[in-house]
Amino acid sequence: MSYNLLKGKRGIIFGALDENSIAWKTAERIHKEGGTFVLTNAPIALRMGQIKELAEKTNSEVIPADATNLEDLNNLVEKSMEILGGKLDFVLHSIGMSVNVRKGNHYTNQNYDYTHKGWDISAVSFHKTMQTLYQKDAMNEWGSIVALTYMAAQRVFPDYNDMADNKAYLESIARSFGYFFGKDKKVRVNTISQSPTPTTAGQGVKGFDGFISYAEKMSPLGNATAEDCANYTIAMFSDLTKRVTLQNLYNDGGFSNMGVSDEVIKAFEHE
């Protein structure tokens, strides 16, 4: 179903890799709602993923950009405005990577070069992106910027490793930069804290399948899917949420307010 919520709006979507990724689903929904956009990812991700297929399907152009590189971001923002014919109305930051997780390093035994790299990609890239947009005055008034996050920023999920710290930093950047973007340019900045979702990135975390089923049992409405997150993001990009900013918004079926559920208790009753 389409409501034409984003008719005439234009933006940039970071991080679509394959059809499991939340950014991919969001791109499809934006297209359906009448929005136009540029797709971007790191050159290596573009080689690995199927983004060309998404670009064809949504009549979009792909601009390779390393989100940690200011030169790449400058080029991305300038070219996007050229291609789309004006300033931007929305930006989705859907980027996260921990080299420590990939290499199997425990949280208590980090390689700090890897820690720094993961922090730069997963968190500081959001600051760099917003700083580029802000300095180039690239956002229309009442525009909306959203980054995807996870509740490990607030609570302990042991196997989420240093990504938990990256997400906490990301959420802080959203609030701090969101203040200036709101005050100076009337642009809102929020993070969406999503249920564990079986994306290519998510599946790199140890014990992920067991955790998805635990979260499903803990959440009164069950886990939010990638499609649910895409729909929420559309609402945040639309004019219906004009005064929502500096928020970390949970899209998790109620998980974040649960202590325990009947299903989880049942699973342990006979031990």
Quickly list DSSP for 71-89. Answer: HHHHHHHHHHHHHHTS-EE
Q: Is 167 annotated as a binding residue?
A: yes
Give the closest residue to 73 by CA, choosing from 114, 134, 9: 134
Give the per-residue pLDDT at 199. 77
Domain limits of the chain?
10-269
Considering the chain, what percentage of its residues have pLDDT values greater than 70? 97
Give the span between the Cα atoms of 48 and 192, in whole angstroms: 26
Q: Which residues are catalytic?
A: 150, 160
212 annotated binding-site participant: no
- Cα–Cα distances (Å) from 195 to 111, 135, 155, 251, in that order, read 28, 33, 13, 6
- Residue 12, annotated as binding a ligand: no
Q: Is the pLDDT of residue 271 over 70?
A: no
28-82 tens-digit pLDDT: 999 999 999 999 999 988 888 799 999 999 999 999 999 999 999 999 999 999 9
- pLDDT beyond 80 at 207: no
**95 a known binding residue?**
yes
pLDDT single digits (tens) 231-242: 999 999 999 999
User: Whole-model pTM?
Assistant: 0.97
Please state whether beta strands 36-40 and 61-62 pair in parallel, antiparallel, or not at all (unpaired).
parallel
| Domain at 10-269, CATH from 1.10.3720.10, 3.40.50.720, 3.40.50.300, 3.30.70.3270 | 3.40.50.720
Three-state secondary-structure class, residue 142: strand
Rounded to an integer, what distance in angstroms lies between the CA atom of residue 195 and that of residue 252? 4
